[in-house]
Structure 1
Amino acid sequence: MTTSPPVIAAANPVAPAPAPRQRPPVFASEQAALQSAQQLADTWAGDAVLRDRERRLPWAEIEAYSDSGLWAITVPRAYGGLQASAWTVAQLIATVAAADGSLGHIPQNHFYALEVLRVGGSAAQQRFFYERVQAGERFGNALSEIGHRDYRRRSRLERGDAGWVLNGRKFYCTGAIFAHWIPVQAMQVIDAAQDPVSVMVFVPRTAPGVTVIDDWDGMGQRVTGSGSVLLENVAIDEAWIVPFQSSFDSPSTIGPFAQIIHAAIDLGIGEGALRATLPFVRNQSRAWVDAGVAQASDDPLTLQALGNVELRLFAARALLRRAGSLVDAAQQEPTAHTVAAASVAVAQARTLAHTAGLLAANKLLELGGTSATFAEHGFDSYWRNVRTHTLHDPVRWKYHAIGNYALSGVLPPRHGAL
């Protein structure tokens, strides 16, 4: 654990997220966006091991990422955006995650916040925040809290003498350190006689009272910056408060949209692990031939293991594509049944991407042998990244929801983890 973590605060920022250098372009097509993602991923892959080993937060890479226009691809056409499909977003995330699991993960909450805004934001809020994103600004997150066994949020949005005031402490705040705005899940106390309601507060990262603490020290996803956010008497403009609880009271795609991105992260890391495995095994084969030993292509166990990984990753990608089409359909017509079908399909993709990603990372080390554990290769980062990310929310509950839906037609619960 870092003994004295750097603090990124509004009053004295150590490494503030710089303003965009220029307005990012709007892609002419979803294919053009994916081509841009691949080009960026190719440039980032070479330094991924060094960033992970030395825990270099990817400031320059994040600037290039959002400057490319990729962080704005889900902005609706009505507001001048591309309105990319869920499948395109998933492909984007998987492409980048294959090169660097952390870079694949960082924009997840940005896209999640955009979906919350699309579902629950007012026309004025959508117009304002879509414009900010199209200008190159980024959303982070301050949703989760630790230290309690229940899932109730302790962060409070209450009326002060001069208006709304926000207080709380958050953790697992992926993307907050790089963000211009930090969406915060909080309980809004409207009337002391009523129960508070859950809202999403889009807080300027430089607002007085906001402190971002880089205290994330997970064994994997090391450069996601998923540390803490401290909120102390932060003055909140009413225009920044977006309904959250009410967006789950009726059918919406917030949950499946969030989860399809998490599935894409696991898939991408697994595909990156397989891409690292194949040339390594081929090079070993050449060395064995030179030494007079049979090559790996003659070993049926090696071929079986590679075939198993390839098949499971292929199947996970196919399920992810199917899930994307159902999320898109549910966005167009959000009913109890369309949202349930999307949620179950995404859960299926997520569970398979979970097991396929872990399998690919395990087999990279297994087939590579002792040589694959050398620090110079950085192969361990695939396992550490996918193992860490697959713990994000328990897949065992996804199996439960899938089985209940298949057996009894029970619609899954509506929340952000399904």
Structure 2
Amino acid sequence: MTAHIIASEEEALKVADELRLFLESGAAGRDRTPTPPQAELDWLSASGILAITIPRAFGGAGVSYETIARVFQLLSAGDPAVAQMVQSHYLFLEAVGEDGTPEQQAHFFGEILAGARLGNAQAEIGGSSALNLATRLLPDGAGGYRLNGKKYYCTGALLAHWLPVAAFDEENRFVLAFVPRQAPGVQVLDDWDSFGQRVAYSGTAILTDVAVPASQVIPHYKLFERTAIFHSYAQLLHTAIDVGIAQNALADAVATVRARKRPRLGAAVATATEDPHVILRFGQLVTQLHATELLLARAGRALDAARANLTEENAAAATVAVAEAKAYAEDVALAIATDIFSLSGTSSTERARNLDRHWRNIRTHSVHDANHWRYHVAGDYLLNQKLPGKPVRKLAQDS
């Protein structure tokens, strides 16, 4: 496996925009007839875009949070479902950088620079909280471990090369076990069945007595023992998906209205683009889109500032900035994806146009997070100086 090495932030943005066009050209068709996007993900791997956050010391571009947010927005504007397939890839690269040993960093960063992809096996269902996990990583008596559990919403796992699996070890500490996707005992099901983000393939992973050497276990619990911005980074990437959906939906709305041969009934104008009500609403929507882009960039800069001087207050300010961006981006994307039909008329609902995919995608992705709590975080910080907390995982039997 070989991949291009991106050397700078400028090159990363250029490649991301080229990938946006590539992904956009097939997005409607993939949504209409979903199949695992193997070719698309292989293009992402070969382009080098999946390695841009790797530190320069290890051969990567070491891009800023602001840049990765913009890159991820562009990928999501091309196809948010394909982009979501690699959201966890970037996040778990961060985990390697945060708590991996130098040897682990050299190994996994080298794998990614060569084109490998990280998947995701975190979430479980059936417990009293989404933060409760029952998956265990226990000693095998020979210096290694055995991994057992069942995971859901494993976005990216189906076509990944490595699966970072969230588990609890023999001391009930929260760890990440990195296992090859094709390792004996690893089964990833193609059972994702949602009305939106249809090629995200966020299916089930079953882990049965999977052998894991100690060199592939990262002590993720250490992250919760110190000030960190890891979870805010995860939310930044989710925000970028929403902004990307909004960007693509608005572009499709503009193209659809421009292509109309006549205005809506009641408008005393010659063309649809001259309708004063249509002009007003498009003006409102494009202003809101640009506001989401500014909030996304602001959140990225806040994370960069926190990383440069990681204090509890700086981490909290970054978390709040991300919360504000995430909350508003969801609202705007939903508004654009809904109004595309009232602005464009009856023909816009034709199945062949598949414009409803924008609403289905944002509605599906948005329920990943309870949006009102993002506004709550911002309000509580403003009124009460309340610092946001961390989403701490717990062993299910202890919940």
- Which TM bucket (shorter chain)? over 0.9
Q: Residue deviations 1:300-320, cap 9 Å, x none?
A: 221222112111111111011
Q: Tell me, in whole angstroms, the C-alpha distance in 2 between the residues paired with 1:311 and 1:318.
A: 11
Aligned partner of 2:283 in structure 1 is 307
Structure 2 residue identity aligned to 1:73: I
Distance 1:300 1:293, change over 3 A: closer
Aligned with 2:320 (options 344, 358, 383): 344
The number of residues matched between the two structures is 389
SS of 2:262's equivalent in the other structure is helix
Aligned partner of 1:172 in structure 2 is 153
SS of 1:184's equivalent in the other structure is strand
CA apart distance, 1:113: 0.1
Q: Tell me, in whole angstroms, the C-alpha distance in 1 between the residues paired with 2:224 and 2:277.
A: 48
Structure 2 residue identity aligned to 1:30: E
Please say if residues 254 and 416 of structure 1, whose CA atoms lie closer than 8 Å, have aligned partners that are also in contact.
Answer: no
Aligned partner of 1:130 in structure 2 is 109
Please say if residues 76 and 245 of structure 2, whose CA atoms lie closer than 8 Å, have aligned partners that are also in contact.
Answer: yes
CA apart distance, 1:288: 4.2
CA apart distance, 1:161: 3.4
Aligned partner of 1:184 in structure 2 is 165
TM-score, normalised by the number of residues in structure 2 = 0.94
Please say if residues 255 and 416 of structure 1, whose CA atoms lie closer than 8 Å, have aligned partners that are also in contact.
Answer: no
Aligned partner of 1:158 in structure 2 is 138
- Greater shift, 294-303 or 357-366, is seen at 294-303
Aligned with 1:241 (options 189, 206, 217): 217
Please say if residues 248 and 415 of structure 1, whose CA atoms lie closer than 8 Å, have aligned partners that are also in contact.
Answer: no
Please say if residues 262 and 270 of structure 2, whose CA atoms lie closer than 8 Å, have aligned partners that are also in contact.
Answer: no
Structure 2 gaps of 5+ residues are 394-399
Please say if residues 147 and 212 of structure 2, whose CA atoms lie closer than 8 Å, have aligned partners that are also in contact.
Answer: yes
Q: Residue deviations 1:108-129, cap 9 Å, x none?
A: 1000001111111121111111
CA apart distance, 1:367: 1.3
Aligned partner of 2:303 in structure 1 is 327
Q: Residue deviations 1:64-120, cap 9 Å, x none?
A: 111100000000011111001111111111112112111221111000001111111
Equivalent residues in 2 for 1:338-417, closer than 5 Å: 338-415=314-391
Structure 1 gaps of 5+ residues are 1-19, 191-195
Structure 1 residue identity aligned to 2:119: G
CA apart distance, 1:293: 5.9
CA apart distance, 1:414: 2.2
Aligned partner of 1:8 in structure 2 is none
Q: Tell me, in whole angstroms, the C-alpha distance in 1 between the residues paired with 2:321 and 2:23.
A: 31
CA apart distance, 1:28: 2.8
Aligned with 1:49 (options 22, 25, 28): 28
Does residue 1:29 correspond to 2:8, yes or no? yes
Aligned partner of 1:17 in structure 2 is none
SS of 1:375's equivalent in the other structure is coil
SS of 1:287's equivalent in the other structure is coil
Structure 2 residue identity aligned to 1:167: N
TM-score, normalised by the number of residues in structure 1 = 0.90
Q: Tell me, in whole angstroms, the C-alpha distance in 2 between the residues paired with 1:176 and 1:70.
A: 18
Q: Tell me, in whole angstroms, the C-alpha distance in 2 between the residues paired with 1:143 and 1:355.
A: 27
Equivalent residues in 2 for 1:86-235, closer than 5 Å: 86-150=65-129, 151-162=131-142, 163-190=144-171, 196-235=172-211
Please say if residues 263 and 275 of structure 2, whose CA atoms lie closer than 8 Å, have aligned partners that are also in contact.
Answer: no
Structure 2 residue identity aligned to 1:39: E
Q: Tell me, in whole angstroms, the C-alpha distance in 1 between the residues paired with 2:226 and 2:280.
A: 47
Q: Tell me, in whole angstroms, the C-alpha distance in 1 between the residues paired with 2:108 and 2:13.
A: 24
Please say if residues 262 and 272 of structure 2, whose CA atoms lie closer than 8 Å, have aligned partners that are also in contact.
Answer: no
Over aligned residue pairs, what C-alpha RMSD do you find? 1.7
Structure 1 residue identity aligned to 2:156: G
CA apart distance, 1:399: 1.4
CA apart distance, 1:229: 0.5
SS of 1:168's equivalent in the other structure is strand
Please say if residues 49 and 378 of structure 1, whose CA atoms lie closer than 8 Å, have aligned partners that are also in contact.
Answer: yes
Structure 1 residue identity aligned to 2:330: H
Please say if residues 259 and 416 of structure 1, whose CA atoms lie closer than 8 Å, have aligned partners that are also in contact.
Answer: no
Q: Tell me, in whole angstroms, the C-alpha distance in 1 between the residues paired with 2:108 and 2:11.
A: 24
CA apart distance, 1:38: 1.2
CA apart distance, 1:149: 2.7
Q: Tell me, in whole angstroms, the C-alpha distance in 2 between the residues paired with 1:272 and 1:108.
A: 18
